[in-house]
Structure 1
Amino acid sequence: MARSLVIKATAGADGAERCNQAFTVAAAAVASGLTVSLWLTGESAWYGLPGRAKELELPHATPLQDLLEVVLAGGQVTVCTQCAARRDIGPEDLIEGVRIAGAPTFVEEISADGAQALVY
């Protein structure tokens, strides 16, 4: 049974520490060889767009852009369907490799054998 980690980031600049922690854990899990799915919901949905992760600055933290690159290289990044719609974000707006998906996909991922879900 393959181990997987599904992480939901619910904050952006409005909760910079929570947001950075979600990305940090996702990147560490990728580096550890786990299957990783990072979900960007609420204000974190903006970080699925080019250049937006560079805007989050948090002292003593790995830059969000660097963490995002690690996750994209070895995991899956998803922007919530409703969160994208509320922000007028379409598939054409996203960083290559980022997808838009909704609750059914999230439920499928978190209910898979060996899956662990974390929400930040």
Structure 2
Amino acid sequence: MARSLVIKATAGADAPERCNQAFNVAAAAVVSGVPVSLWLTGESSWFALPGRAKEFSLPHATPLEDLLDAVLAGGRVTLCTQCAARRGIGPDDVIRGVRIAGAPTFVEEITAEGVQALVY
């Protein structure tokens, strides 16, 4: 069984370097053939909405929109249920391919055999 990554992004524009790091690691893992599940929580929840990743800017960093597209193409992206509700985001609002799920799904993913969980 291949080892996989579950990455929880908690930061957004409020902490741009930490936010970018989460997306960068997730995209690099996908490109490397590692199964990846990226969770958008806290302020990174906004990136589940169309166009929001394009608005993010960090000097000397790959555009967040490109990183998110890479993860969506080869991995899984999940928006936290409670985080979505607090921001008024529903299933019809998110980018195609983003699912909304909660803590039970997160726990199931991070406790599976061969999984490494990272939180940014």
Q: TM range, normalised to the smaller chain? A: over 0.9
Partner of 1:20: 20
Return the alpha-carbon distance in structure 2 between the equivalents of residues 113 and 33 of structure 1: 18
SS state at 2:65 partner? helix
TM-score w.r.t. the length of structure 1 is: 0.99
Partner of 1:39: 39
2:94 matched to 1:97?
A: no
Deviation (angstroms), 1:3: 1.1
Deviation (angstroms), 1:2: 2.1
Aligned residues: 120
Return the alpha-carbon distance in structure 2 between the equivalents of residues 10 and 50 of structure 1: 18
SS state at 1:30 partner? helix
Give identity over the alignment, percent.
81
Return the alpha-carbon distance in structure 1 between the equivalents of residues 98 and 106 of structure 2: 14
Deviation (angstroms), 1:89: 0.2
Greater helix proportion: 1
Partner of 1:66: 66
| Structure 1 unaligned spans of 5+ | none
Return the alpha-carbon distance in structure 2 between the equivalents of residues 4 and 112 of structure 1: 9
Return the alpha-carbon distance in structure 2 between the equivalents of residues 2 and 112 of structure 1: 12
